[in-house]
Amino acid sequence: MPAEKSLDGKVALVTGSSRGIGLAIARSLGRLGAKLSLCARDAGKLESAATELQGEGFKVVATAADVARASDIEKLVQKTGQALGAIDILVNNAGIGYFGPFQGAAEENWDAVLDTNLKSVFLLSKAVAPGMIERRTGHIINIASLAGKNAFAGGAIYCASKWGLLGLTECMAEDLRQFGIRVSAVCPGSVATDFSPHAGKDTRKMLQSEDIAHAVEVIVTQSPQSFISEILIRPTQKP
């Protein structure tokens, strides 16, 4: 296991962190000593998450924002810097899904999923990268999915967003590695959250949010001369 407080003094920004995977990741990074910048669209749920983590002794700033909007991202990064300091770790976790035959989907479905799952990663990483380049250090971790590698009926738009995210992640890694910045992807299978319906599945056998948080822990505590480019996570039993 990583050493206790190994991220002491570091600043971690986690998107989609009002619940589920994002909240678990934020809690994990907080336990390692990081100062936390939380972000989500729902201000009420975000405030509840921030209060919960503050009650556990973590330093937290929360910003309600839509990370698919450049103007919201500018405010998010600025507020994080003013409250906590320069961003050392960015976890692009925010995501939405649309599931159904592609021929029945509307253009609005495509735009919503691709903007949230893919464009937001481009915009926020682009906003954070210059500071990391200047300091010649940093982690950018993109929460992708096994849907970025495996096709399934009804998954056209979601899979397209995650396949695109994996391509973006690999190219970002090549662009930034010369500056000491490590860019990684975490690809989980189905996780027991309220993100998508799990009809007929035994949620006790599914991945849990804490499993994804553990993978992020592994990435941010690895030795400095290497980087883990991708982690694939599956449950031990099929649900």
The catalytic residues are 158
Residue among 214, 20, 161, 217 nearest 233 (CA): 214
Tell me the CB-side half-sphere exposure of residue 195, using CA atoms within 13 A: 23
As a whole number of angstroms, the distance between CA 19 and CA 24 comes to 8
As a whole number of angstroms, the distance between CA 126 and CA 96 comes to 21
Strand partners, 213: none
3-state helix/strand/coil string of 45-84: HHHHHHHHHHHCCCCEEEEECCCCCHHHHHHHHHHHHHHC
Helix residue ranges per DSSP H, 88-149:
107-114, 120-135
